[in-house]
């Protein structure tokens, strides 16, 4: 498993390297078999007519085409179920559908059809040459078509370089609604639960809980002797209280600690521990304590805890809501999927499905995943075709990175495709 649990789109270089590795075996077979077949063509004259014997071309050409078809269908079948091809395995990439699972036979076939359109045209021309026996100009017909077909295939494979949505899709990916990920630099979505992934992969960690200085009610606060200098007879040293669990801090020059200082009165049975240096303290420290000494209570720390009148119970919990640009208003559940026709994956059976009408089809089937977090929501773009962005209350617009959750606070607007929703509290 990759150490990086994020999804990393495959680069154009790795895509091209995988395609070249996949094309070499069938291309080599076709070149060798057709070369042997053309070399075996014989020409005879009979009654002023030239007759070509193309038996060898038909034989070896059929063998080459048969082997190529078998190889193609086997590789396509494996890729449809696993996203793997020989080139994908060697380059460390995987092809997937729009939700991060195995692409399926239909998508793989369509990708191959768009990529190899030029090569198929050259093969069709080769068949016509054989049928109509255009062997004289065959070289001038087939050579340009093969070069154009190869150039088209390369251009399609690296076309994700011009994709404005994070170089995520090539032309063949857009037609087949597929994605290609680098599983060496990131995780493999096909084996780890798709685009969203299982909950163990979802980056949903909240910020750590910060310790506060307010003491816990009922806890015993430690007492520290405030040794500011020699203690004169009849004068008691001061003691400072420190919150439980807080680290002692030595103030630097010009720094004043916000601690509450209280006069110290020793109990009647006070006996300084040995080794503390207080054995020879003045007798005032060991004198009987006056009566009616009140025990320490955490609420005595009035500098940190203030009583606010009118508090009759816990503060109400804010409810997060979104308002779409068409005026519709929705209260959010814990997990929400937004899209043209959103569908939950494994582990998302109980997600709230929010379908948004989109006549222009600018929104993907499952465009966004929202996860409420009390103070806001985590928004994840599910590798949508047209992308997403967030505008904060101060007007700053930021594009979302596909597959990476972004925390959005109330008052912000989220743009997905041509649609927008506003996040608020009720």
What confidence tens digit (pLDDT) does each residue in 232-274 have? 444 444 444 444 444 344 444 444 444 444 444 444 444 444 5
Determine contact, residues 93/82, Cβ cutoff 8 Å: no
Strand partners, 93: 182
Q: Give CA–CA dist 79/19, Å, rounded.
A: 13
What CATH number labels 320-425? Answer: 2.60.200.20
137: helix, coil or strand?
Answer: coil
Q: What is the pLDDT of residue 204?
A: 43
Q: Give CA–CA dist 176/83, Å, rounded.
A: 14
Query: Residue 289: pLDDT above 50?
Result: no
Whole-number percent of the chain with pLDDT over 70: 64
30: helix, coil or strand?
Answer: helix
Q: What is the pLDDT of residue 205?
A: 45
Higher-confidence residue of 215 and 172: namely 172
Taking alpha carbons only, the member of 12, 384, 17 closest to residue 167 is: 12
Higher-confidence residue of 386 and 209: namely 386
Domain with CATH 2.60.200.20 in the chain: 320-425
How many helices (H) and strands (E) the chain has is answered by 7, 18
pLDDT digits (tens, 9 = 90+) for 42-87: 777 766 666 666 677 778 878 888 898 899 999 999 999 999 999 9
Q: Give CA–CA dist 354/346, Å, rounded.
A: 18
What end-to-end distance do the CA atoms of the chain give, in Å? 43
Residue 55 backbone phi and psi in degrees, to 5:
-60, -45
Strands 238-241 and 223-226: antiparallel
Going by pLDDT thresholds of 50, 70 and 90, the confidence category of residue 291 is low
Mean pLDDT, residues 34-41 = 77
Determine contact, residues 88/108, Cβ cutoff 8 Å: no
Q: What is the pLDDT of residue 257?
A: 43
Determine contact, residues 339/365, Cβ cutoff 8 Å: yes
Going by pLDDT thresholds of 50, 70 and 90, the confidence category of residue 149 is confident
């Amino acid at each position: 498993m990759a150490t990086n649990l994020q999804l990393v789109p495959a680069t154009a270089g790795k895509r091209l390297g995988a395609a070249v590795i996949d094309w070499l075996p069938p291309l080599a077979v076709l070149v060798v078999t057709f070369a042997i077949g053309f070399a075996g063509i014989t020409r005879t004259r009979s009654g002023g007519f030239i007759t070509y014997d193309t038996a060898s071309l038909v034989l070896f050409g059929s063998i080459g085409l048969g082997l190529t078809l078998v190889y193609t269908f086997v590789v396509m079948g494996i890729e449809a179920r696993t996203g793997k091809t020989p080139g994908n395995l060697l380059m460390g990439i995987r092809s997937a559908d729009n939700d991060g699972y195995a692409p399926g036979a239909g998508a793989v076939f369509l990708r191959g059809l768009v990529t190899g359109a030029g090569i198929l045209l050259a093969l069709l021309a080769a068949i016509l040459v054989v049928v109509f026996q255009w062997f004289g100009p065959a070289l001038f017909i087939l050579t340009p078509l093969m070069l154009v077909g190869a150039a088209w295939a390369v251009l399609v494979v690296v076309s994700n370089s011009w994709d404005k949505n994070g170089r995520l899709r090539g032309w063949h990916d857009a037609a087949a609604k597929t994605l290609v990920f680098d599983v060496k630099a990131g995780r493999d979505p096909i084996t780890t639960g798709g685009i969203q992934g299982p909950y163990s992969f979802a980056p949903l960690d909240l910020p750590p809980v910060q310790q506060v200085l307010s003491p816990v009610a009922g806890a015993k606060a430690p007492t520290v002797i405030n040794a500011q200098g020699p203690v004169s007879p009849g004068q008691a040293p001061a003691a400072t209280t420190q919150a439980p669990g807080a680290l002692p801090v030595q103030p630097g020059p010009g720094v004043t600690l916000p601690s509450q200082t209280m006069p110290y009165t020793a109990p009647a049975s006070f006996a300084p521990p040995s080794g503390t240096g207080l054995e020879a303290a003045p007798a005032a420290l060991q004198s009987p304590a006056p009566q009616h000494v009140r025990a320490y209570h955490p609420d005595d720390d009035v500098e940190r805890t203030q009583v606010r009148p009118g508090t009759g119970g816990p503060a109400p919990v804010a409810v997060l809501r979104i308002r779409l640009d068409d005026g519709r208003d929705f209260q959010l559940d814990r997990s929400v999927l937004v899209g043209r026709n959103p569908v939950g994956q494994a582990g998302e059976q109980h997600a709230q499905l929010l379908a948004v009408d989109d006549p222009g089809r600018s929104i993907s089937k499952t465009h966004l995943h929202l996860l409420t977090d009390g103070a806001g929501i985590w928004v994840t773009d599910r590798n949508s075709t047209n992308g997403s962005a967030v505008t904060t209350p101060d007007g700053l617009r930021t594009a979302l990175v596909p597959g990476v959750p972004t925390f959005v606070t109330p008052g912000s607007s989220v743009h997905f495709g041509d649609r927008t929703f506003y996040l608020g509290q009720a």
